[in-house]
Amino acid sequence: MPANIPVKVKERLSNGLKKFQGITQNAKSKDINESDTVVIVTDMLCEVFGFDKYSEITSEYSIKKTFCDLVIKIDGKIRFIIECKAAGMELKADHIKQATDYGANEGVDWIILTNGHTWKIFKITFGKPISNELVYQFDILALNHKKDSDLELMYYVCKESMSKSMLEEYHVQKQTLSRFFIGQVILTEGVLDSIKKTIKKMSPDVKVSNEEIQALIETEVLKREVLEGEKADEAKKKVQKFFKATAKAREKEKTVISVATEATEGSAETILN
């Protein structure tokens, strides 16, 4: 579902994008150093994303005897840790690890890695081991200032979206519509029952069980990578948690109905006596 971007914010994003596309392209072409890139990113955080330069943006923030480039802090709470690299530098795996370590050590789950034009937004999961997930990314130079879907990518990082938890909601939606989550939903009893009923309607003489359908789906229908690995395990846990909660709610409802029925019957018996 598209984000409802306020008109003033949309104007700021559009105008800011037009301005900084030229600036970041020039910075990339000249291959400016990291310190100068941080200056550009700071200006973008202020002019495009709406953060106050003096009260909400902190540079060279100390984290366990080292320093990250920038943090966004609102009402005393760090919302983003931002690691910057030189404008002409490609963002690599060791840069992601560096940013993840900053977030993990500070207990901040949202981190941004950028070279001014490419922005990668990660979500840290504080498990064992600590891991990160690339929620989404965008390249300033590839965006269209007239296209709402492009402005929306930038809006999730804006100050205005923080109070509405827009980034969190986007992350949840993306997880729910991931191939791993859909793969686990397909293997639930309700879906397997529906498949079995459809098969019986099409071929009444065919006898098939849910277990047979599930085995076929796991081995021949879905790709192995969808059902195995950390993301698949995480999706499986979420699906199982949902159905456990649903089953618990149903049992609670049955108990309430049973108690109400007994009370009604008891009252009726008292009246008759």
Q: How far apart are CA 40 and CA 48, in angstroms?
A: 11
Instruction: Record the pTM.
Output: 0.70
Give the burial string for 132-163 (b: 16+ CB within 10 Å, else e): beebbebebeebebeeeebbbbbbbbbbebbe
* 174 found inside a domain: no
203 or 252, greater pLDDT: 203
Rg of the chain on CA atoms, in Å = 26
Based on the structure, what is the number of domains in the chain? 2
Same domain? For 142 and 215 the reply is no
Asked if residue 2 has pLDDT above 70, the reply is no
Task: Kindly state the tokens that stand for 70.
Answer: 């920038």
Per residue in 184-209, pLDDT (tens digit) is: 888 888 888 898 889 888 888 888 89
* 199 found inside a domain: yes
Query: Which range of residues forms the domain containing residue 85?
Result: 7-164
Q: How far apart are CA 72 and CA 57, in angstroms?
A: 5
Q: What angle do CA 138, 142, 147 make, to 5 degrees?
A: 90
* 169 found inside a domain: no
Q: How far apart are CA 199 and CA 222, in angstroms?
A: 19
Same domain? For 142 and 62 the reply is yes
Asked if residue 271 has pLDDT above 60, the reply is no
